[in-house]
Amino acid sequence: MKLPLRARITAWYFAVLVVAFASFAWISDLGFRRSIEQTVNDALRANLESVQSVLVRTAPKGAAEVRAELYELAGLWAGAALLEVSDASDKIIFQSRPFAKPYRSLPPVQGTEVTFLTTNLDFLQYRVAMRTVEAGGQSFRVRAAIPTEPFDLALDRFRLILKETLPFLVVLASLAGYWLSGRALAPVNEIIKTARGIGVQNLSGRLAVPPANDELRRLSETLNDMLGRIEASVKRITQFTADASHDLRTPVALIRANAELALRRSRTEQEYRETLSRILTTSEETTHLIENLLTLARADAGAAELQFRDMDLAPHVEKIAEEAGILAAAKGIQVMSELPAGSVLVSGDCAAIERLLLIVVENAVKYTPVGGRIQMNLSNGSGSARIEIRDSGIGISEKDLPHIFERFYRADQARSREPGGSGLGLAIAQWIVELHGGTIEVQSSLGSGSVFRITLPVAAKS
């Protein structure tokens, strides 16, 4: 099982502290030891130098003089510093104090370079420096030593302090880390508490945004954005369901009213025919509405399957213009089309493209009064195919223009003139255009007709 975040942060903090403090202890111990060694070496070098100057001065005067001066010199040295000088055949000339451990067990003195070693003499640990000194034509072997005990004691004391204080500091800092991570995570708990209170019933609730520009603020803002999107989607779905039920209820009520009216008393065959034909028309409209609703529901669910392939737009535009011509003829409206000489290739779904064109052209027919004109143009621009559908109809007011692609939106004029519409056609048209990576725009003003422009990217030439 995983530990809670706060405990995990503290555990990590603890581990990092242990490593940091251990490294600190190790480095300071090393530094301390080096510095001690350096100090002792420097002291020994200084001692050897003074021995050398004594030897240079006294060697010509004889061994007694050498001994006397060295005796004096060694007496001046502080503490338990030792000195031993022997001649070239290792016969001892001077020894400040006999060592308990046989001095001979030390390695022989060689060369005028100082060599150092640490060894146990006289039951104590000593740092020994050795070299040969040439003076008065003789060769002296000099060994100087300083006990390391005082330094070792200081080092031990230093180590003890580290050992006693560091674990305590680690524990203290970890506790502080635990407290700090608690403080840092407190706003997250606040966010969790607020988020728990937001449900489908009160989607308008939002999380408080912390003032500091940090991760928590971004988290709150991101969650708020997400809530905003969910709220908008839920609103749209609720609206869609309400509008759909409303739009479905009307034709069903109409069918029922027609049937009830016809059945109230006996009618002539002609009257029954008329009633049945009204019922049939309304049923057809209802079927159409249900189909449109299903299309949009599939579009929302992302389940609509289109089959994209390279297709020439020209024959499809021509076909729809012909179909619209038949529809329009009944209203005395003229439908003209203009196509380019060559083909206009786009990658698209033939059925969807025809449906898109039909929606726009049928609207043009629907909202153009008797004797009007509809013009369909297809052209091939730079990298895009353009279809323009222009009518001399009732036009769309400035107020309605931004909304006509919304689901169920119908301009007032359309409501009064064309009771058959559902306000879903252009929403479906826009969805098809977007699936093809294109755009649909409208230009219109009340009373002076409308132009719908569809732009689709042309298929990449292979």
Residues that bind ligand ADP (CB under 6 A): 359, 363-364, 367, 391, 393-396, 404, 409-411, 414, 421-427, 450
Report, in Å, the least distance between residue 293 CB and ligand ADP: 12
| Nearer of residues 48 and 324 to ligand ADP, judged by Cβ | 324
Report, in Å, the least distance between residue 416 CB and ligand ADP: 10
Count CB atoms within 10 A of the CB of residue 70.
Answer: 24
Report, in Å, the least distance between residue 351 CB and ligand ADP: 18
| Nearer of residues 187 and 393 to ligand ADP, judged by Cβ | 393
3-state secondary structure 352-408: HHHHHHHHHHHHHHHCCCCCCEEEEEEEECCCEEEEEEEECCCCCCCCCHHHCCCCC
Report, in Å, the least distance between residue 447 CB and ligand ADP: 10
Structure-token match 């649909």, residue found: 440
Report, in Å, the least distance between residue 318 CB and ligand ADP: 20
Report, in Å, the least distance between residue 429 CB and ligand ADP: 7
Report, in Å, the least distance between residue 347 CB and ligand ADP: 25
Report, in Å, the least distance between residue 361 CB and ligand ADP: 9
Sign of the dihedral defined by the CA atoms of residues 21, 22, 26, 29, in that order: positive
Report, in Å, the least distance between residue 312 CB and ligand ADP: 26
| Nearer of residues 13 and 367 to ligand ADP, judged by Cβ | 367
| Nearer of residues 337 and 450 to ligand ADP, judged by Cβ | 450
Taking the C-alpha atoms of residue 412 and residue 401, their distance in angstroms, rounded to an integer, is 12
Whether residue 366 contacts residue 337, with contact meaning beta carbons closer than 8 Å, is answered with: no
Report, in Å, the least distance between residue 389 CB and ligand ADP: 8
Report, in Å, the least distance between residue 430 CB and ligand ADP: 9
Residue 152, judged by CB atoms within 10 A of its CB (0-12, 13-18, 19+), counts as middle
| Nearer of residues 51 and 376 to ligand ADP, judged by Cβ | 376
| Nearer of residues 165 and 445 to ligand ADP, judged by Cβ | 445
DSSP conformation letters of 251-306: HHHHHHHHHHHHHSS---HHHHHHHHHHHHHHHHHHHHHHHHHHHHHHHHHT----
Count CB atoms within 10 A of the CB of residue 320.
Answer: 25
Residue 317, judged by CB atoms within 10 A of its CB (0-12, 13-18, 19+), counts as buried
Q: What share of the chain is helix, strand, coil (3-state, %, to 5)?
A: 55, 20, 25
Q: For residue 185, what is the enclosing H or E element?
A: helix 149-196
| Nearer of residues 121 and 359 to ligand ADP, judged by Cβ | 359
Tokens of 124: 């104590």
| Nearer of residues 9 and 396 to ligand ADP, judged by Cβ | 396
Amino acid identity of residue 417, one-letter, is: R
Report, in Å, the least distance between residue 188 CB and ligand ADP: 46
Tokens of 215: 């991760």
| Nearer of residues 177 and 438 to ligand ADP, judged by Cβ | 438
Task: Calculate the alpha carbon distances from 210 to 205, 214, 220, 235, 408 in Å.
Answer: 16, 8, 8, 28, 40
| Nearer of residues 187 and 395 to ligand ADP, judged by Cβ | 395
Whether residue 68 contacts residue 94, with contact meaning beta carbons closer than 8 Å, is answered with: no
Taking the C-alpha atoms of residue 324 and residue 374, their distance in angstroms, rounded to an integer, is 9
Taking the C-alpha atoms of residue 388 and residue 443, their distance in angstroms, rounded to an integer, is 11
Taking the C-alpha atoms of residue 116 and residue 35, their distance in angstroms, rounded to an integer, is 15
Tokens of 101: 């451990």
| Nearer of residues 187 and 425 to ligand ADP, judged by Cβ | 425
| Nearer of residues 10 and 292 to ligand ADP, judged by Cβ | 292
Amino acid identity of residue 155, one-letter, is: L
